[in-house]
Amino acid sequence: MPDWSTSPPEERDYARIRLTRCPVGGSVGGIITSEQLVGCPTHWATHRTTPCSAWIDRSTTPPTVHSCDLCHTGSPVRWHGYVSYLNEISGREFVLEVTALCAKAIEEAQHRHGTLRGLRFSAHRISKRPNARVEIDFAATSIDVRTLPHPVDVQAFMATLWNQSPANELQPVPAARPTEHKKHSPPAVNGSPHVKTLRETLLETRPCPK
């Protein structure tokens, strides 16, 4: 028999929040609710961004990079950053995904203002190519940040999308047979810059804020 009830089930965590990227030929914008940018190395697999579960053993000299299964297949590693924001027109909350290049502008705004929370931003692609560079602008506002929604727990939100435990998405379990990732130098595609190797990406990436 059906499991009848007098009210609908509770929504899943983050059911009302959507992940978004800057669209081709369009723009995104709103008021940032995150206090800071967070990010991690990722792969593109099965038509979606998925986290890289590689890890670094810093007890060795030089530090040893232990790759994940996707690294072993030669899948390039790319760092992606995430911030939550409020769309002022719809009143909905989103999490914006950005590349490392775009993240540098966000990081500069964070250093300049001390926090991202309460800043208005607008991001657009410089051309109609799908992989065109994203430019992002910021402006201070007079908004009382106490009236904004609480920042989205971006790590937990992404863990939900990636079907991971929220406590572990940035602290992956070491591989059973750790092997140093081999260097890959794929040719440029449509003018895209060289994709850094796993070692280059992880050793240059600062630990993500908790």
Cα dihedral 160→161→167→169 (10° resolution): 170
pLDDT (0 to 100) of residue 81:
96
Please report which residue ranges of the chain form alpha helices under DSSP H. 69-72, 100-113, 154-161, 198-204
Interatomic CA distance for residues 171 and 181, integer angstroms: 18
Output the six-digit token pair for 117.
Answer: 């929370």
pLDDT (0 to 100) of residue 179:
39
- The helix (run of H) or strand (run of E) holding residue 126 is none
Q: Cis check for the bond before 172: say yes or no (omega within 30 of 0).
A: no
Strands 120-125 and 134-139: antiparallel
pLDDT (0 to 100) of residue 191:
47
pLDDT (0 to 100) of residue 206:
47
pLDDT (0 to 100) of residue 12:
67
In this prediction the pTM is 0.71
pLDDT (0 to 100) of residue 11:
64
Q: Under 8 Å CB-to-CB from 83, ≥6 apart: which residues?
A: 32, 34, 36, 37, 38, 95, 96, 98, 106, 116, 154
pLDDT (0 to 100) of residue 210:
42
Distance of CA 191 to the CA centre of its chain: 23
Half-sphere exposure of 34 (CA within 13 A, CB side): 26
User: What pLDDT tens digit does each residue of the chain (210 aa) get?
Assistant: 677 877 766 666 788 899 999 998 889 999 999 999 999 999 998 888 999 988 888 899 988 888 899 998 989 999 999 999 999 999 999 999 999 999 999 999 999 999 999 999 999 999 988 889 999 999 999 999 999 999 999 999 999 888 865 543 333 333 333 334 444 444 444 444 444 555 555 555 544 444
Interatomic CA distance for residues 153 and 166, integer angstroms: 10
